[in-house]
A and B are shown apart, each in its own frame.
Chain A
Amino acid sequence: MIRLDNVSWHRGKKDSAPVLAHVSFMVPQGGFRWLLGPSGAGKSSLLSLLHIENLPSDGQMTILGKTVAQEEKRSALVRLRQRIGMVHQDYQLMPDLSVADNVALPLRLQKRPEDEIQDEVHAILKWVGLGERVGVPAAQLSGGEQQRTAIARAIIHRPGLILADEPTNALEESQACRLLDMFAELSAMGTTVVVATHNESLIRRLERPFLFLERGRLVEDGGAQA
Protein backbone atom coordinates (compact mmCIF):
# COMPACT_ATOMS: atom_id res chain seq x y z
CA MET A 1 0.00 0.00 0.00
CA ILE A 2 1.18 3.48 -0.87
CA ARG A 3 -0.26 6.63 0.61
CA LEU A 4 0.88 10.22 0.17
CA ASP A 5 -0.72 13.06 2.14
CA ASN A 6 0.07 16.56 0.98
CA VAL A 7 3.64 15.60 0.07
CA SER A 8 5.99 18.30 -1.20
CA TRP A 9 9.58 17.93 -2.20
CA HIS A 10 12.31 20.49 -2.79
CA ARG A 11 15.54 19.62 -4.48
CA GLY A 12 18.09 21.12 -2.07
CA LYS A 13 17.08 24.34 -0.32
CA LYS A 14 13.61 24.67 1.07
CA ASP A 15 12.99 28.14 -0.36
CA SER A 16 13.60 26.91 -3.91
CA ALA A 17 10.55 26.15 -6.03
CA PRO A 18 9.22 22.69 -5.11
CA VAL A 19 9.69 19.88 -7.62
CA LEU A 20 6.56 18.27 -6.20
CA ALA A 21 3.85 20.26 -4.42
CA HIS A 22 0.97 18.99 -2.25
CA VAL A 23 0.75 15.57 -3.84
CA SER A 24 -1.84 13.27 -2.29
CA PHE A 25 -2.97 9.86 -3.52
CA MET A 26 -3.40 6.28 -2.42
CA VAL A 27 -2.66 2.98 -4.17
CA PRO A 28 -3.90 -0.18 -2.45
CA GLN A 29 -1.74 -3.30 -2.23
CA GLY A 30 -1.86 -5.02 -5.62
CA GLY A 31 -2.94 -1.81 -7.34
CA PHE A 32 -1.55 -0.71 -10.70
CA ARG A 33 -1.08 2.95 -11.67
CA TRP A 34 0.18 4.61 -14.79
CA LEU A 35 2.20 7.70 -13.94
CA LEU A 36 1.73 10.22 -16.75
CA GLY A 37 2.63 13.80 -17.50
CA PRO A 38 4.80 15.90 -19.77
CA SER A 39 8.54 15.76 -19.60
CA GLY A 40 9.82 17.63 -16.55
CA ALA A 41 6.52 17.27 -14.68
CA GLY A 42 8.20 15.41 -11.80
CA LYS A 43 7.47 11.75 -12.60
CA SER A 44 11.02 10.59 -11.91
CA SER A 45 11.13 12.74 -8.79
CA LEU A 46 7.95 11.16 -7.46
CA LEU A 47 9.33 7.69 -8.12
CA SER A 48 12.53 8.61 -6.26
CA LEU A 49 10.40 9.48 -3.23
CA LEU A 50 8.45 6.22 -3.49
CA HIS A 51 11.81 4.38 -3.73
CA ILE A 52 12.96 6.26 -0.59
CA GLU A 53 15.99 7.67 -2.41
CA ASN A 54 14.72 11.01 -1.16
CA LEU A 55 12.45 11.90 1.75
CA PRO A 56 9.50 14.29 1.44
CA SER A 57 10.24 17.84 2.56
CA ASP A 58 6.67 18.09 3.77
CA GLY A 59 3.67 15.89 4.28
CA GLN A 60 3.21 12.24 5.17
CA MET A 61 4.29 9.25 3.11
CA THR A 62 3.45 5.61 3.73
CA ILE A 63 5.18 2.90 1.67
CA LEU A 64 4.18 -0.77 1.92
CA GLY A 65 2.18 0.14 4.99
CA LYS A 66 5.07 1.78 6.77
CA THR A 67 5.35 5.49 7.50
CA VAL A 68 8.52 6.95 6.01
CA ALA A 69 9.84 9.97 7.84
CA GLN A 70 13.08 11.75 8.66
CA GLU A 71 13.13 10.34 12.17
CA GLU A 72 12.71 6.74 10.97
CA LYS A 73 15.61 4.43 11.86
CA ARG A 74 17.99 3.94 8.94
CA SER A 75 17.92 0.17 9.29
CA ALA A 76 14.12 0.20 8.96
CA LEU A 77 14.41 2.19 5.71
CA VAL A 78 17.02 -0.29 4.44
CA ARG A 79 14.66 -3.20 5.06
CA LEU A 80 11.84 -1.32 3.38
CA ARG A 81 14.01 -0.53 0.35
CA GLN A 82 14.82 -4.24 0.00
CA ARG A 83 11.09 -4.84 -0.57
CA ILE A 84 10.95 -2.39 -3.50
CA GLY A 85 12.06 -3.07 -7.07
CA MET A 86 12.98 -0.05 -9.14
CA VAL A 87 13.73 0.27 -12.86
CA HIS A 88 15.53 3.58 -13.28
CA GLN A 89 15.22 5.66 -16.40
CA ASP A 90 19.00 5.41 -16.80
CA TYR A 91 19.07 1.73 -15.63
CA GLN A 92 21.84 2.31 -13.02
CA LEU A 93 23.64 -0.96 -13.71
CA MET A 94 27.10 -1.73 -12.34
CA PRO A 95 29.19 -1.29 -15.50
CA ASP A 96 31.99 -3.63 -14.38
CA LEU A 97 29.71 -6.48 -13.40
CA SER A 98 28.33 -9.14 -15.68
CA VAL A 99 24.62 -9.28 -16.45
CA ALA A 100 24.29 -12.19 -14.02
CA ASP A 101 26.09 -10.42 -11.18
CA ASN A 102 24.00 -7.29 -11.71
CA VAL A 103 20.77 -9.24 -11.51
CA ALA A 104 22.02 -11.23 -8.52
CA LEU A 105 22.69 -8.10 -6.44
CA PRO A 106 19.33 -7.78 -4.61
CA LEU A 107 19.50 -11.43 -3.58
CA ARG A 108 23.13 -11.17 -2.49
CA LEU A 109 22.38 -8.12 -0.37
CA GLN A 110 19.72 -10.27 1.33
CA LYS A 111 22.41 -12.95 1.89
CA ARG A 112 20.52 -15.69 0.08
CA PRO A 113 22.42 -18.96 -0.57
CA GLU A 114 24.58 -18.75 -3.68
CA ASP A 115 23.23 -21.82 -5.52
CA GLU A 116 19.66 -20.58 -5.04
CA ILE A 117 20.74 -17.17 -6.37
CA GLN A 118 22.26 -18.68 -9.51
CA ASP A 119 19.15 -20.72 -10.29
CA GLU A 120 16.88 -17.70 -9.91
CA VAL A 121 19.15 -15.47 -12.00
CA HIS A 122 19.34 -17.97 -14.86
CA ALA A 123 15.57 -18.41 -14.87
CA ILE A 124 14.77 -14.71 -14.94
CA LEU A 125 17.45 -13.90 -17.54
CA LYS A 126 15.99 -16.56 -19.79
CA TRP A 127 12.59 -14.97 -19.36
CA VAL A 128 13.81 -11.48 -20.39
CA GLY A 129 15.69 -13.03 -23.33
CA LEU A 130 19.21 -12.55 -22.02
CA GLY A 131 19.98 -16.24 -21.49
CA GLU A 132 22.89 -16.02 -23.91
CA ARG A 133 24.32 -12.85 -22.41
CA VAL A 134 24.75 -13.81 -18.74
CA GLY A 135 28.52 -13.29 -18.63
CA VAL A 136 28.74 -10.04 -20.59
CA PRO A 137 29.76 -6.93 -18.61
CA ALA A 138 26.87 -4.48 -18.38
CA ALA A 139 28.98 -1.77 -20.02
CA GLN A 140 29.01 -3.80 -23.26
CA LEU A 141 25.24 -4.21 -23.55
CA SER A 142 22.93 -2.42 -25.99
CA GLY A 143 20.32 -0.04 -24.60
CA GLY A 144 17.54 -2.60 -24.84
CA GLU A 145 19.67 -5.27 -23.17
CA GLN A 146 20.55 -2.88 -20.36
CA GLN A 147 16.90 -2.09 -19.83
CA ARG A 148 15.99 -5.76 -19.70
CA THR A 149 18.82 -6.38 -17.22
CA ALA A 150 17.50 -3.55 -15.05
CA ILE A 151 13.99 -5.01 -15.22
CA ALA A 152 15.27 -8.46 -14.21
CA ARG A 153 17.15 -6.91 -11.28
CA ALA A 154 14.02 -5.05 -10.16
CA ILE A 155 11.79 -8.12 -9.98
CA ILE A 156 14.12 -11.00 -9.06
CA HIS A 157 13.58 -10.65 -5.30
CA ARG A 158 9.77 -10.54 -5.65
CA PRO A 159 9.32 -7.08 -4.19
CA GLY A 160 6.03 -5.92 -2.75
CA LEU A 161 6.26 -2.69 -4.74
CA ILE A 162 7.56 -2.29 -8.31
CA LEU A 163 8.43 1.16 -9.63
CA ALA A 164 9.38 1.57 -13.28
CA ASP A 165 10.53 4.78 -14.94
CA GLU A 166 9.82 4.59 -18.69
CA PRO A 167 10.78 0.90 -18.69
CA THR A 168 9.91 0.23 -22.31
CA ASN A 169 11.49 3.12 -24.20
CA ALA A 170 14.43 0.99 -25.35
CA LEU A 171 12.37 -2.17 -25.95
CA GLU A 172 10.79 -3.56 -29.08
CA GLU A 173 7.00 -3.64 -29.24
CA SER A 174 6.76 -7.39 -28.52
CA GLN A 175 9.13 -7.17 -25.55
CA ALA A 176 7.21 -4.20 -24.17
CA CYS A 177 3.96 -6.14 -24.39
CA ARG A 178 5.46 -9.15 -22.64
CA LEU A 179 6.74 -6.90 -19.87
CA LEU A 180 3.34 -5.29 -19.50
CA ASP A 181 1.64 -8.66 -19.24
CA MET A 182 4.05 -9.61 -16.50
CA PHE A 183 3.41 -6.39 -14.58
CA ALA A 184 -0.33 -7.03 -14.82
CA GLU A 185 0.17 -10.57 -13.57
CA LEU A 186 2.36 -9.47 -10.65
CA SER A 187 -0.21 -6.85 -9.73
CA ALA A 188 -2.94 -9.47 -9.80
CA MET A 189 -0.81 -11.53 -7.41
CA GLY A 190 -0.63 -8.65 -4.92
CA THR A 191 2.34 -6.56 -5.99
CA THR A 192 1.75 -2.83 -6.14
CA VAL A 193 3.01 -1.41 -9.45
CA VAL A 194 3.62 2.19 -10.56
CA VAL A 195 4.85 2.73 -14.12
CA ALA A 196 5.85 6.12 -15.54
CA THR A 197 5.56 6.21 -19.31
CA HIS A 198 4.91 8.22 -22.46
CA ASN A 199 3.94 5.22 -24.54
CA GLU A 200 0.30 5.79 -25.58
CA SER A 201 -0.22 2.42 -27.22
CA LEU A 202 0.98 0.73 -24.04
CA ILE A 203 -1.49 2.65 -21.94
CA ARG A 204 -4.29 1.71 -24.31
CA ARG A 205 -3.28 -1.96 -24.08
CA LEU A 206 -3.61 -2.11 -20.32
CA GLU A 207 -6.43 0.07 -19.05
CA ARG A 208 -5.65 1.01 -15.48
CA PRO A 209 -6.12 4.16 -13.40
CA PHE A 210 -3.53 6.84 -13.95
CA LEU A 211 -1.88 9.59 -11.96
CA PHE A 212 -1.32 12.70 -14.04
CA LEU A 213 1.40 15.13 -13.01
CA GLU A 214 1.86 18.66 -14.33
CA ARG A 215 4.56 20.99 -13.08
CA GLY A 216 4.93 19.09 -9.86
CA ARG A 217 1.22 18.94 -9.07
CA LEU A 218 -1.08 15.97 -9.26
CA VAL A 219 -3.83 17.21 -11.56
CA GLU A 220 -5.69 13.93 -12.01
CA ASP A 221 -5.96 10.81 -9.88
CA GLY A 222 -7.79 8.12 -11.81
CA GLY A 223 -7.83 5.84 -8.77
CA ALA A 224 -9.42 8.33 -6.39
CA GLN A 225 -13.06 7.58 -7.21
CA ALA A 226 -12.57 3.82 -7.36
Chain B
Amino acid sequence: MTRPFSGRKDGLSLSEALPDRSLFALVAMMGFLAALTVAGASGARALSARWSGGAAQLLTIQVPDADTALTAQNGPTTRVQAVLADLASLPAGSEVHQLTQPELSRLLEPWLGETDNTALPLPAIIRVKLPVDTSVPATLEQTLNTHVPGTIVEHNARWGERLRALANSLLACAGLALLTVGGIATMITGLATRTGLATRKDIIKTLHGLGASDSYIAGRFAWRTATLGFGGGLTGTLGACLPLLLLLQMAAPFASTPLTAPDRLLPTNWQALAATIPQDMLVALLLLPFAAAFICWFTTQIMVRLWLLRLP
Protein backbone atom coordinates (compact mmCIF):
# COMPACT_ATOMS: atom_id res chain seq x y z
CA MET B 1 0.00 0.00 0.00
CA THR B 2 1.29 3.43 -0.90
CA ARG B 3 1.05 6.44 1.36
CA PRO B 4 -2.56 7.68 1.39
CA PHE B 5 -1.63 11.30 0.67
CA SER B 6 0.99 12.28 -1.84
CA GLY B 7 1.33 16.02 -1.41
CA ARG B 8 -0.14 18.16 -4.12
CA LYS B 9 -0.85 15.48 -6.69
CA ASP B 10 -3.77 16.05 -9.01
CA GLY B 11 -3.67 13.00 -11.28
CA LEU B 12 -2.20 14.72 -14.33
CA SER B 13 1.04 12.65 -13.97
CA LEU B 14 2.83 14.99 -16.34
CA SER B 15 6.18 13.27 -16.05
CA GLU B 16 4.55 10.47 -18.06
CA ALA B 17 2.33 12.62 -20.27
CA LEU B 18 5.27 14.86 -21.18
CA PRO B 19 8.23 12.47 -20.97
CA ASP B 20 11.65 14.04 -20.78
CA ARG B 21 13.38 12.10 -23.52
CA SER B 22 11.89 13.84 -26.55
CA LEU B 23 11.53 17.44 -25.45
CA PHE B 24 14.67 17.54 -23.34
CA ALA B 25 16.93 16.11 -26.05
CA LEU B 26 15.51 18.27 -28.82
CA VAL B 27 15.71 21.46 -26.78
CA ALA B 28 19.28 20.50 -25.85
CA MET B 29 20.16 20.33 -29.55
CA MET B 30 18.48 23.69 -30.14
CA GLY B 31 20.38 25.11 -27.17
CA PHE B 32 23.64 23.83 -28.65
CA LEU B 33 22.92 25.53 -31.97
CA ALA B 34 21.81 28.72 -30.28
CA ALA B 35 24.98 28.83 -28.16
CA LEU B 36 27.20 28.51 -31.22
CA THR B 37 25.16 31.16 -33.03
CA VAL B 38 25.34 33.51 -30.06
CA ALA B 39 29.12 33.08 -29.97
CA GLY B 40 29.40 33.84 -33.68
CA ALA B 41 27.19 36.88 -33.32
CA SER B 42 29.21 38.13 -30.39
CA GLY B 43 32.43 37.75 -32.39
CA ALA B 44 31.00 39.57 -35.37
CA ARG B 45 29.79 42.34 -33.10
CA ALA B 46 33.24 42.76 -31.53
CA LEU B 47 34.85 42.96 -34.97
CA SER B 48 32.31 45.47 -36.15
CA ALA B 49 32.86 47.60 -33.08
CA ARG B 50 36.64 47.50 -33.50
CA TRP B 51 36.51 48.48 -37.14
CA SER B 52 34.12 51.31 -36.60
CA GLY B 53 36.38 52.54 -33.82
CA GLY B 54 40.05 53.52 -34.02
CA ALA B 55 40.94 51.58 -37.14
CA ALA B 56 38.82 53.86 -39.28
CA GLN B 57 40.99 56.88 -38.51
CA LEU B 58 44.15 55.34 -39.90
CA LEU B 59 45.72 56.18 -43.22
CA THR B 60 48.70 54.46 -44.84
CA ILE B 61 50.65 56.19 -47.58
CA GLN B 62 53.21 54.44 -49.76
CA VAL B 63 55.78 56.47 -51.66
CA PRO B 64 57.76 54.41 -54.20
CA ASP B 65 61.29 55.58 -55.04
CA ALA B 66 61.16 57.65 -51.91
CA ASP B 67 64.69 59.00 -52.01
CA THR B 68 64.69 60.00 -55.63
CA ALA B 69 64.99 63.74 -56.00
CA LEU B 70 61.93 65.45 -57.26
CA THR B 71 62.53 67.43 -60.43
CA ALA B 72 61.08 70.53 -58.97
CA GLN B 73 62.04 74.14 -59.11
CA ASN B 74 61.81 74.84 -55.41
CA GLY B 75 64.88 73.16 -54.00
CA PRO B 76 66.42 69.71 -53.96
CA THR B 77 63.66 67.78 -52.14
CA THR B 78 63.16 64.02 -52.34
CA ARG B 79 59.77 62.56 -53.24
CA VAL B 80 59.00 61.51 -49.67
CA GLN B 81 59.87 64.95 -48.36
CA ALA B 82 57.43 66.46 -50.82
CA VAL B 83 54.68 64.13 -49.62
CA LEU B 84 55.42 64.93 -45.99
CA ALA B 85 55.27 68.61 -46.80
CA ASP B 86 51.84 68.15 -48.37
CA LEU B 87 50.61 66.21 -45.33
CA ALA B 88 51.22 69.27 -43.17
CA SER B 89 47.90 70.57 -44.48
CA LEU B 90 45.92 67.74 -42.79
CA PRO B 91 43.51 68.65 -39.96
CA ALA B 92 45.23 69.89 -36.81
CA GLY B 93 46.14 67.11 -34.39
CA SER B 94 46.92 64.54 -37.07
CA GLU B 95 49.87 62.34 -36.27
CA VAL B 96 52.15 61.74 -39.19
CA HIS B 97 54.88 59.16 -38.83
CA GLN B 98 57.25 57.80 -41.42
CA LEU B 99 58.31 54.27 -40.57
CA THR B 100 62.03 54.08 -39.82
CA GLN B 101 64.29 51.52 -41.41
CA PRO B 102 64.20 49.15 -38.40
CA GLU B 103 60.41 49.42 -38.18
CA LEU B 104 60.13 48.64 -41.84
CA SER B 105 62.44 45.65 -41.49
CA ARG B 106 60.38 44.32 -38.63
CA LEU B 107 57.23 44.74 -40.66
CA LEU B 108 58.70 42.85 -43.57
CA GLU B 109 60.54 40.25 -41.54
CA PRO B 110 57.92 37.52 -42.00
CA TRP B 111 58.30 37.81 -45.75
CA LEU B 112 61.94 38.73 -46.27
CA GLY B 113 63.63 37.22 -43.27
CA GLU B 114 66.17 38.85 -41.03
CA THR B 115 68.48 39.84 -43.81
CA ASP B 116 69.90 43.21 -44.42
CA ASN B 117 67.39 44.31 -46.98
CA THR B 118 68.55 47.82 -47.61
CA ALA B 119 69.47 46.66 -51.04
CA LEU B 120 65.83 46.18 -51.96
CA PRO B 121 63.98 49.14 -53.41
CA LEU B 122 61.46 49.58 -50.62
CA PRO B 123 58.80 52.27 -50.71
CA ALA B 124 58.56 54.66 -47.83
CA ILE B 125 55.60 53.99 -45.58
CA ILE B 126 53.91 56.87 -43.81
CA ARG B 127 51.27 56.24 -41.19
CA VAL B 128 48.76 58.94 -40.49
CA LYS B 129 46.40 58.92 -37.57
CA LEU B 130 43.65 61.45 -37.85
CA PRO B 131 42.02 62.96 -34.78
CA VAL B 132 38.58 61.64 -33.91
CA ASP B 133 35.70 63.29 -35.79
CA THR B 134 37.82 64.40 -38.70
CA SER B 135 37.94 62.90 -42.13
CA VAL B 136 40.48 62.72 -44.91
CA PRO B 137 40.22 65.54 -47.44
CA ALA B 138 38.66 64.02 -50.52
CA THR B 139 41.32 65.48 -52.78
CA LEU B 140 44.30 64.20 -50.80
CA GLU B 141 45.26 61.35 -53.06
CA GLN B 142 44.87 63.51 -56.15
CA THR B 143 46.94 66.34 -54.70
CA LEU B 144 49.71 63.98 -53.65
CA ASN B 145 49.73 62.33 -57.05
CA THR B 146 50.06 65.56 -58.99
CA HIS B 147 53.02 66.55 -56.84
CA VAL B 148 54.55 63.08 -56.47
CA PRO B 149 53.28 60.68 -59.12
CA GLY B 150 52.87 57.06 -58.02
CA THR B 151 51.94 57.78 -54.40
CA ILE B 152 49.38 55.31 -53.04
CA VAL B 153 46.98 56.29 -50.28
CA GLU B 154 45.42 53.37 -48.40
CA HIS B 155 42.49 54.52 -46.40
CA ASN B 156 41.73 52.00 -43.68
CA ALA B 157 38.24 53.37 -43.30
CA ARG B 158 37.35 51.98 -46.68
CA TRP B 159 38.36 48.51 -45.56
CA GLY B 160 36.81 49.12 -42.21
CA GLU B 161 33.50 49.92 -43.81
CA ARG B 162 33.58 46.77 -45.90
CA LEU B 163 34.50 44.65 -42.92
CA ARG B 164 31.85 46.32 -40.86
CA ALA B 165 29.25 45.61 -43.52
CA LEU B 166 30.42 42.00 -43.50
CA ALA B 167 30.22 41.83 -39.73
CA ASN B 168 26.76 43.37 -39.81
CA SER B 169 25.48 40.87 -42.34
CA LEU B 170 26.95 38.12 -40.18
CA LEU B 171 25.05 39.58 -37.26
CA ALA B 172 21.85 39.63 -39.29
CA CYS B 173 22.41 35.99 -40.26
CA ALA B 174 22.98 35.09 -36.63
CA GLY B 175 19.75 36.86 -35.72
CA LEU B 176 17.85 34.92 -38.36
CA ALA B 177 19.45 31.68 -37.19
CA LEU B 178 18.40 32.42 -33.61
CA LEU B 179 14.86 33.18 -34.76
CA THR B 180 14.79 29.88 -36.64
CA VAL B 181 16.10 27.97 -33.65
CA GLY B 182 13.48 29.67 -31.47
CA GLY B 183 10.80 28.80 -34.01
CA ILE B 184 11.82 25.16 -34.06
CA ALA B 185 11.87 25.07 -30.26
CA THR B 186 8.36 26.54 -30.25
CA MET B 187 7.16 23.90 -32.68
CA ILE B 188 8.75 21.06 -30.74
CA THR B 189 7.16 22.31 -27.54
CA GLY B 190 3.82 22.72 -29.28
CA LEU B 191 3.88 19.15 -30.56
CA ALA B 192 4.92 17.74 -27.19
CA THR B 193 2.17 19.73 -25.47
CA ARG B 194 -0.41 18.52 -27.99
CA THR B 195 0.57 14.91 -27.35
CA GLY B 196 0.42 15.50 -23.61
CA LEU B 197 -3.03 17.07 -23.89
CA ALA B 198 -4.29 14.18 -26.00
CA THR B 199 -3.13 11.53 -23.52
CA ARG B 200 -4.58 13.44 -20.56
CA LYS B 201 -7.83 14.52 -22.18
CA ASP B 202 -10.14 12.71 -19.76
CA ILE B 203 -8.15 13.67 -16.67
CA ILE B 204 -8.21 17.32 -17.74
CA LYS B 205 -11.96 17.20 -18.30
CA THR B 206 -12.45 15.73 -14.84
CA LEU B 207 -10.19 18.34 -13.24
CA HIS B 208 -12.03 21.07 -15.11
CA GLY B 209 -15.32 19.68 -13.83
CA LEU B 210 -13.98 19.68 -10.28
CA GLY B 211 -13.36 23.42 -10.60
CA ALA B 212 -9.74 23.66 -11.75
CA SER B 213 -9.11 27.01 -13.44
CA ASP B 214 -7.52 27.40 -16.85
CA SER B 215 -4.48 29.01 -15.28
CA TYR B 216 -4.04 26.06 -12.91
CA ILE B 217 -4.10 23.45 -15.69
CA ALA B 218 -2.04 25.54 -18.13
CA GLY B 219 0.40 26.36 -15.35
CA ARG B 220 0.89 22.68 -14.51
CA PHE B 221 1.69 21.82 -18.15
CA ALA B 222 3.81 24.95 -18.70
CA TRP B 223 5.85 24.36 -15.56
CA ARG B 224 6.64 20.88 -16.79
CA THR B 225 7.77 21.96 -20.27
CA ALA B 226 9.65 24.96 -18.85
CA THR B 227 11.61 22.65 -16.55
CA LEU B 228 12.45 20.35 -19.46
CA GLY B 229 13.33 23.38 -21.60
CA PHE B 230 15.62 24.79 -18.93
CA GLY B 231 17.39 21.46 -18.51
CA GLY B 232 17.69 21.01 -22.26
CA GLY B 233 18.90 24.56 -22.80
CA LEU B 234 21.46 24.21 -20.03
CA THR B 235 22.72 20.89 -21.39
CA GLY B 236 22.98 22.29 -24.92
CA THR B 237 24.81 25.40 -23.77
CA LEU B 238 27.26 23.43 -21.65
CA GLY B 239 27.77 21.06 -24.55
CA ALA B 240 28.64 23.99 -26.79
CA CYS B 241 31.24 25.33 -24.36
CA LEU B 242 34.05 22.97 -25.35
CA PRO B 243 33.91 23.69 -29.09
CA LEU B 244 33.46 27.37 -28.24
CA LEU B 245 36.61 27.48 -26.12
CA LEU B 246 38.54 25.79 -28.91
CA LEU B 247 37.27 28.31 -31.43
CA LEU B 248 38.11 31.12 -29.06
CA GLN B 249 41.62 29.81 -28.70
CA MET B 250 42.02 29.71 -32.46
CA ALA B 251 40.66 33.23 -32.73
CA ALA B 252 42.89 34.49 -29.94
CA PRO B 253 45.62 35.97 -32.23
CA PHE B 254 42.97 38.21 -33.77
CA ALA B 255 41.58 39.34 -30.46
CA SER B 256 42.69 42.52 -28.78
CA THR B 257 44.28 40.72 -25.85
CA PRO B 258 47.00 38.69 -27.48
CA LEU B 259 47.36 35.18 -26.24
CA THR B 260 50.27 33.40 -27.77
CA ALA B 261 49.28 31.74 -30.99
CA PRO B 262 48.25 28.14 -30.43
CA ASP B 263 50.95 25.64 -31.10
CA ARG B 264 48.79 22.70 -30.10
CA LEU B 265 45.10 22.07 -30.46
CA LEU B 266 44.17 21.83 -26.79
CA PRO B 267 45.02 24.90 -24.78
CA THR B 268 47.11 24.50 -21.67
CA ASN B 269 45.83 27.43 -19.73
CA TRP B 270 42.06 27.05 -19.61
CA GLN B 271 41.56 29.77 -17.05
CA ALA B 272 43.36 32.42 -19.06
CA LEU B 273 41.38 31.32 -22.07
CA ALA B 274 38.07 31.49 -20.23
CA ALA B 275 38.99 35.00 -19.12
CA THR B 276 39.10 36.09 -22.74
CA ILE B 277 35.43 35.20 -23.31
CA PRO B 278 33.72 38.47 -24.17
CA GLN B 279 31.35 39.75 -21.53
CA ASP B 280 28.34 40.02 -23.80
CA MET B 281 28.81 36.45 -25.03
CA LEU B 282 28.98 35.19 -21.48
CA VAL B 283 25.76 36.99 -20.56
CA ALA B 284 24.02 35.70 -23.67
CA LEU B 285 25.12 32.12 -22.95
CA LEU B 286 23.94 32.39 -19.35
CA LEU B 287 20.57 33.66 -20.55
CA LEU B 288 20.11 30.81 -23.05
CA PRO B 289 18.64 28.20 -20.65
CA PHE B 290 16.23 30.81 -19.32
CA ALA B 291 15.24 31.82 -22.84
CA ALA B 292 14.60 28.13 -23.65
CA ALA B 293 12.53 27.75 -20.49
CA PHE B 294 10.52 30.85 -21.35
CA ILE B 295 9.83 29.70 -24.92
CA CYS B 296 8.58 26.34 -23.62
CA TRP B 297 6.53 27.92 -20.84
CA PHE B 298 4.91 30.49 -23.10
CA THR B 299 4.13 28.06 -25.93
CA THR B 300 2.55 25.58 -23.55
CA GLN B 301 0.51 28.24 -21.78
CA ILE B 302 -0.98 29.38 -25.09
CA MET B 303 -1.57 25.84 -26.37
CA VAL B 304 -3.28 24.58 -23.21
CA ARG B 305 -5.42 27.69 -22.81
CA LEU B 306 -6.58 27.43 -26.42
CA TRP B 307 -7.32 23.73 -25.93
CA LEU B 308 -9.32 24.46 -22.79
CA LEU B 309 -11.60 26.82 -24.70
CA ARG B 310 -13.44 23.75 -25.97
CA LEU B 311 -14.68 23.27 -22.39
CA PRO B 312 -17.05 25.97 -21.08
A residues neighboring B (CB under 8 Å)? 51-55, 70, 74-75, 77-79, 81-82, 84, 86, 92, 94-102, 104-106, 108-110, 114, 118, 121, 134-137, 153
Contact = CB atoms under 8 A, between A and B. Distances in A.
B16 to A, nearest CB: 9
A109 B214 contact: no
Nearest to A157: B211
A105 B10 contact: yes
Given A54-B312, A55-B312, A82 B209 contact: no
A135 B11 contact: no
Given A54-B312, A96-B13, A75 B4 contact: no
Contacts of A118: 5
17 contacts: A74-B213, A78-B211, A78-B213, A79-B211, A81-B209, A92-B202, A94-B10, A96-B11, A98-B3, A101-B6, A104-B5, A105-B207, A109-B210, A110-B211, A121-B5, A135-B4, A153-B210
Contact of A94 (B2, B203, B214): B203
Contacts of A96: 11, 13
Given A53-B312, A97-B11, A109-B216, A135 B3 contact: yes
Contacts of A79: 211
**B interface majority secondary structure:** loop
Contact of A86 (B8, B10, B209, B311): B209
Interface in B199-232: 202-203, 205-214, 216
B264 interface: no
A82 B10 CA distance: 15
Given A53-B311, A101-B5, A110-B211, 16 more contacts: A51-B209, A53-B209, A70-B312, A77-B312, A78-B212, A81-B208, A81-B209, A82-B210, A92-B202, A92-B205, A94-B206, A101-B11, A105-B11, A108-B10, A109-B10, A137-B2
B5 A136 contact: no
B21 interface: no
B4 A98 contact: yes
A86 B203 CA distance: 15
Interface of B: 1-6, 8-11, 13, 202-203, 205-214, 216, 311-312
A91 to B, nearest CB: 10
A121 B209 CA distance: 19
B4 A99 contact: yes
Nearest to B206: A92
Contacts of A70: 312
Contact of B4 (A55, A134, A153): A134
B40 to A, nearest CB: 45
Contacts of B1: 135-136
Nearest to B312: A55
B8 A108 contact: yes
Nearest to A77: B312
Contacts of B209: 51, 53, 81, 86, 92
Contacts of A75: 213
A109 B203 contact: no
Nearest to B6: A101
A172 to B, nearest CB: 24
Contacts of A92: 202, 205-206, 209
A92 B207 CA distance: 10
Contacts of B210: 81-82, 105-106, 109, 153
A105 B208 CA distance: 11
A97 B5 CA distance: 9
A156 B311 CA distance: 24
A109 B12 CA distance: 13
A52 B312 contact: yes
A34 B134 CA distance: 95
A131 to B, nearest CB: 10
Contacts of B208: 53, 81
B211 A82 contact: yes
Contacts of B212: 78, 109
A114 B10 CA distance: 14
Given A77-B312, A105-B10, A135 B2 contact: yes
A82 B203 CA distance: 17
Closest 5 CB pairs of A and B: A94-B11, A82-B211, A134-B4, A100-B4, A135-B4
Nearest to A92: B206
Of A96, A99, A102, the most chain B CB neighbours within 10 A belong to A96
Nearest to A91: B206
A98 B216 CA distance: 21
Of B4, B8, B10, B206, the most chain A CB neighbours within 10 A belong to B4
A63 to B, nearest CB: 12
Nearest to A54: B312
Contacts of B4: 98-101, 134-135
